Amino acid sequence: MKIGTIREQAFAMPFTNPAFPVGPYRFINREYFIVTYRTDMAKLREVVPEPLEVTEALVHYEFIRMPDSTGFGDYTESGQVIPVTYKGQAGSYTHAMYLDNHPPIAGGRELWGFPKKLAAPRMQVHDDTLVGELDYGPVRVATATMGYKHKTLDARVVEQGLASTPNFLLKIIPHVDGTPRICELVRYHLQDVSVRGAWTGPAALSLFPHALAPVADLPVLEVLEARHIVADLTLGLGEVAFDYLA
């Protein structure tokens, strides 16, 4: 294999059979269940990297069903997203993410820097209740519930929020000697967003301690809101907002 061939064709690991295809990555009927809660401000500031800033002690705990995603297939995610600001602009920082499918784990980490780990999240409707559950191995880590479609939200407002909010990630790729070779703050946007429906209702959220899935380190002090959203969208590729090694 020629050096030029490697340079031209290198995209992802493994070289001869990458774990995920080249994008764009389109998601159809992507279903969100998001519980917003108040937490401990000091603990938030311990986990949010500068130059991002935290102005409110809020966390969005998310369950996301992705039954139809380009190249990644059918999978479910669960994790924590923290409202932040960067240079005065409001955005979101993805702090933790757990999912059940290898290609989006590999692609999410290698391309964008999503903090993805293998686990067993579930999102489904039981009678009159939307239920989200996250297990890490045999241990329950998170349980969320919401009254199913109790009140309809303005889909246009939700769509604008999804499309306009910048999202931030801390991407780290090590050198062969174990030191960081890439360490940067990545910014990306959701694109071509079309919200099919959005609802809210009464909600509850319980987080449980786990050594390797420490979502409970950001404790639930008060549940403020819950949203159930169904949308089509494209996951835009990122840009480097800040290089920690520069």
Degrees, nearest 5: CA angle 74-80-81: 100
Q: Tell me how far the alpha carbon of residue 129 is from its chain's centroid.
A: 23
**Which parts of the chain register pLDDT below 70?**
none
Element holding 212 (H helix, E strand): none
Q: Which domains does the chain have, with CATH numbers?
A: 19-243 (2.40.400.10)
Query: Which amino acid is present at 181?
Result: R
Catalytic residue among 2, 43, 87, 116: 116
Q: Tens digits of per-residue pLDDT, 189-202?
A: 999 999 999 999 99
Q: Which of 202, 194, 185, 161 is nearest to 245 (CA)?
A: 185
Q: What is the pLDDT of residue 166?
A: 98
- Cα separation of 203 and 35, whole Å? 7
pLDDT value at residue 224: 98
SS (H, E, C) 149-167: CCEECCHHHHHHHHHHCCE
116 is catalytic: yes
Decide: 145 and 34 in contact? Cβ < 8 Å: no
Strand pairing category for 120-126 and 180-188: unpaired
